[in-house]
Amino acid sequence: MALRFFNTYSRQLEEFRPRDAKERKIDIYTCGPTVYSRAHIGNFRAYIFEDLLQRHLELRGYKVHRVMNITDVDDKTIRGAREAKAPLIKFTEQFKDAFFEDAGTLRIKRADEYPAATDQRYIDRMISMIETLISRGLAYQADDKSVYFRINKFPDYGKLAHFDLTQLQSTGRVKHDEYDKEHIGDFALWKAWDEEDGDVGWESPWGRGRPGWHIECSAMATALLGDQIDIHCGGVDNIFPHHEAEIAQSEGVTGKKFVRMWLHCAHLLVDGQKMSKSLGNFYTIPDVLAKGYTGRELRYALIRVHYRTQLNFTWDGMKEARESLGRVDDWLERLRETAGDKIDNRKIDMQPGQQLEEALDDDLNISAALGFLFESIRETNRAMDKDELDAASANAWLNWWERINRVLVMEAETAELPAEVATLAEARAQARLAKDFRKSDELRDKLNALGWEARDTKDGQKITRRAGA
Ligand code: AMP
Ligand code: ZN
C-alpha cells in the first residue's frame, strides 16, 4: 500500500508524493518549542508524533531532512526575561538545554537543524521578506510603527484553517493595541519597540523592533529548506493563525506553493481539558520521572494513541504503558532463548508479516500497528508455552523486531540510561546507520569518558556500565 497521510489543507487522506521521488529525499519542517519555560508533556506529544513520522518515513527508505525551529524571542520569552531580570539569551538558554535533555529522555531523534529566531542570519531574512511583502502591497506599516500583513490582499488566507474571513470581521474584537490595523485579522510581521521590550530589539527599515512569531518560521523554513517543503507539522493549535500566516507570508514572497502536506497532532488532555501552561494543568518530563516512570514508558504512553485523536493523560495510562512494555520485554527474552537453542525439533513455523509497517503507512495508524504487535506476542507466546516455536521463526521475529524498534524505539535497552548517555547512544546509533564511523568512534569515546561502554551486537548497539566505572 502507498503511504498516505491526512492533509489538514484538503481535510483528506492523500497519497504521499515527495517532491524528489527519484532520490527519495524529503524536507520536513516542525514548529519547535518557545523557550520561555520547560516544555510540558503535551508539547512532547506533538514532538513524539513527528518523531514517529520521521522514523517511519526512514523505514520506508526516505532520506529525511528535518528542521525544528526554536522560538527564542516573542512576547512570552521577553516577559520571562524581564521578570527574571536576565538578558533574553541567558534566560532562554536554560530552557533550550532542558528541551534537548527531555527530547533525549523520550528517545526523540534529533532534527538536522535547530535554527533559533534570534540568529542574525534569520533576522536579516525576516526583514528582507517583510520588505518584499510591502513592495507587493501585501504588508504595510501602521501608525503605531509596526508592520502588518494585509490579509485582504491574499485571497488564499483562511484556506488551511477553513476559516471564513467575514466572521473574523463581525466579531468586533478590537484590542487596545490593534487600533491602527486596517483589518482586525491583519497580523504583525514586525513589532515596533516599546519600553516593555527593554534591550531586546533589532534595527530595521521601520525602526527598532522585533519580528512577529509567524514570520520567524517562514524565514527559517525557507532559508534552510527552500521555497517548498514536503511536510510541515505542528499541534492543531498551530493551524490558525500561525500556519495560516506562514503560508501567506511565504507564498506572498516566493509565489510558490509553500507546503505539500500539513500534518497536525491533536491535543494531550488532562481531565478533558487541553494540557497547557496557561491552565496550569501540566506535567513536565521531570515531573513524570519523579513519579518513578522512565522516559521509555512516557514515550509509549504518548505514542500509543493515533496522532489525530485526543489523548487523555492519566497515571493509570502510565501504569498500562509499563505493563505493555513489560510484555514486550518478556517476549523478547523468551524469543532470544528460543532462537539460541541448538537442538531444534520444534514444529511451529510462524513468521512475521508486513502488517505493522502497513498500518503505519496508513496515516500512522499506531493503534492498528500496536494491535498487531500484541496479537503477534500472544500467538508466538502460545507456541513458546508449548515449546513448539522453531528457532528459525524466533530469529525471524527478532530480526523483524530490530527493524520495527527503529520506528517505535520501545526496547528496554537504553531505558535506565541517564539522559545525556541516552542522547549520545542515540546519536551513535544514527552515526552507524549513516556509516559515519569516525563520528561513531568519537561518540564511543565520549560514552567511555562518562563511564559507559558501547558494544555492537547483531541485535544492535548495547550500552552498559563500564567495569569499574
Ligand atoms: P509552543 O511551545 O506553545 O509553541 O508549542 C510547541 C508545540 O506543542 C506546538 O506544536 C503545539 O501545537 C504543541 N502543543 C501545545 N500544547 C499541546 C498539547 N496539550 N497537546 C499536544 N500538543 C501541544
Ligand atoms: Zn512555527
Report pLDDT digits (tens) over 130-158.
Answer: 999 999 999 999 999 999 999 999 999 99
Q: Which of 43, 279, 285 to mutate to test the pocket of ligand 1 (most atoms within 8 A of CB)?
A: 43
pLDDT of 389 above 50: yes
Q: What is the pLDDT of residues 71-103, one digit of tens each?
A: 999 999 999 999 999 999 999 999 999 999 999
Ligand 1, CB cutoff 6 Å, lining residues: 31, 33-34, 42-43, 45-46, 234-235, 237-238, 265, 267-268, 274-276
Yes or no: say if 82 and 292 are a contact pair by the CB < 8 Å rule: no
> Which pLDDT belongs to residue 467?
55
What is the distance in angstroms between the CA of the first residue and the CA of the last residue of the chain? 49
Where does residue 255 fall: left (phi above 0), alpha (psi -120 to 50 degrees), or beta otherwise? left
pLDDT digits (tens, 9 = 90+) for 244-268: 999 999 999 999 999 999 999 999 9
Testing ligand 1's pocket by substitution, the residue of 95, 217, 237 carrying the most ligand atoms inside 8 A of its CB is: 237
d(CA 182, CA 382): 70
pTM to 2 decimal places:
0.87
pLDDT at 173 over 50: no
Q: What are phi and psi of 220, to 5 degrees?
A: -70, -40
Percent of the chain with pLDDT over 90: 81
Q: Find the 34 Cα to ligand 2 centroid distance in Å.
A: 10
Q: What is the pLDDT of residue 166?
A: 62
**What integer is the mean pLDDT of 315-328?**
97
User: Residue 371: exposed, middle, or buried by beta-carbon count in 10 A (0-12, 13-18, 19+)?
Assistant: middle
Q: Which H or E run includes 227?
A: none
Q: How many Å apart are CA 369 and CA 377, to the nearest integer?
A: 12
The residue whose grid cell reads 526554536 is 70
What is the predicted pLDDT for the residue at 416?
A: 66
Q: Tell me if 300 sits within 8 A of 321, measured CB to CB.
A: yes
Tally of CB atoms within 10 A around 5: 21
What is the chain's alpha carbon radius of gyration, rounded to the nearest angstrom?
Answer: 24
pLDDT at 9 over 70: yes
| CA–CA gap between residue 200 and residue 159 (Å, rounded) | 34
> Among candidates 34, 140, 27, 122, which has minimal Cα distance to 78?
34
| 8 A C-beta contact, residue 264 and residue 29 | no
Neighbours of 10 (CB within 10 A): 12
Alpha-carbon distance 416 to 149, whole Å?
49
Q: What is the pLDDT of residues 336-371, one digit of tens each?
A: 999 987 666 778 889 999 999 999 999 999 999 999
Work out the average pLDDT over 425-435.
Answer: 89
Residue 198 has pLDDT above 90, yes or no: yes
Round the average pLDDT of the chain to a whole number and report it: 92
Find the helix packing angle between 295-303 and 88-105, rounded to 10°: 80
Antiparallel, parallel or unpaired: β 229-235 and 209-211? unpaired
How close is the Cα of 350 to the center of ligand 2, in Å?
Answer: 46
> With 50 as the cut, is the pLDDT of residue 172 above it?
no
Atom of ligand 1 lying closest to residue 266 CA:
21
Lowest mean pLDDT among 51-55, 165-169, 315-319: 165-169
pLDDT, tens digit, for every residue of 15-47?
999 999 899 999 999 999 999 999 999 999 999
CA distance 427 to 444: 10
Residue 132: how many CB atoms within 10 A of its CB?
15
Closest CA to 251 of 232, 268, 273: 232
What is the spatial distance between Cα 116 and Cα 122, in angstroms, rounded to a whole number?
8
Q: Are 381 and 80 in contact (CB under 8 A)?
A: no
pLDDT digits 0-9 by tens, 292-305: 999 999 999 999 99
Question: From CA 352, how far away is CA 134, in angstroms rounded?
Answer: 59
